[in-house]
């Protein structure tokens, strides 16, 4: 974990009531690429159907574009794909949310499955 991210985590752990109001300056392409390296990329694809491997093919330009959208206030998180998975040892099921890798959705993918 980066020094930058670790400092934020330490502050959050030290004071559970602390509210972060200015984190946009931490949103850089380098920071997003670092968090990408820490992310589990073996999960299922989200509502847009894009896999982590597909996103990673153009990681540099995608993170650049994402930072621009975040800082311009144009980023809107897409809906989470909802699925139900079986509970171990029972015939019951539990809900599970599968997020997208990043939001490059248009209005046609803002539906729930």
* Domain count across the chain: 1
Q: Identify whether 27 is part of a domain.
A: yes
Instruction: Per residue of the chain (113 residues), give pLDDT as tens.
Output: 577 778 888 999 999 999 888 888 888 999 889 888 888 888 888 888 888 899 899 999 999 999 998 888 888 888 899 999 999 999 999 999 998 887 544 333 333 43
- Report the pLDDT value the prediction gives residue 113, as an integer from 0 to 100: 38
Q: Identify whether 39 is part of a domain.
A: yes
Q: Where are the beta strands (DSSP E) in the chain?
A: 81-86, 93-98
Q: Identify whether 2 is part of a domain.
A: no
SS3 assignment for 34-46? HHHHHCCCCCCCC
Residue 97 three-state SS: strand
CA–CA distances in Å: residue 18 to residues 40, 47, 59: 28, 33, 32
- Report the pLDDT value the prediction gives residue 103, as an integer from 0 to 100: 52
CA distance 98 to 84: 11
Pick the closest to residue 30 from 57, 4, 52, 6 (CA basis): 4
CA distance 59 to 56: 5
The predicted model scores a pTM of 0.66
Structural domain boundaries enclosing 67: 23-80+87-104
Q: Identify whether 6 is part of a domain.
A: no
Element (H, E) at 76: none
Q: Identify whether 93 is part of a domain.
A: yes
- Report the pLDDT value the prediction gives residue 29, as an integer from 0 to 100: 92
Q: Identify whether 10 is part of a domain.
A: no
Q: Identify whether 58 is part of a domain.
A: yes
CA distance 2 to 34: 8
Q: Identify whether 110 is part of a domain.
A: no
């Amino acid at each position: 974990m980066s020094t930058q991210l670790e400092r934020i985590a330490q502050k959050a752990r030290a004071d559970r009531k602390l509210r972060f109001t200015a984190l946009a300056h931490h949103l850089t392409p380098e920071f997003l690429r670092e968090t990408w390296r820490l992310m589990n990329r073996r999960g299922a694809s989200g509502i847009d159907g894009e896999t982590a491997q597909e996103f990673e093919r153009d990681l540099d330009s995608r993170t650049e574009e994402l930072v621009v959208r975040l800082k311009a206030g144009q980023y809107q998180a897409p809906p989470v794909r909802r699925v139900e998975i079986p509970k171990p040892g029972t015939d019951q099921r539990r809900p599970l949310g599968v997020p997208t890798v990043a939001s490059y959705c248009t209005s046609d993918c803002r539906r729930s499955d």
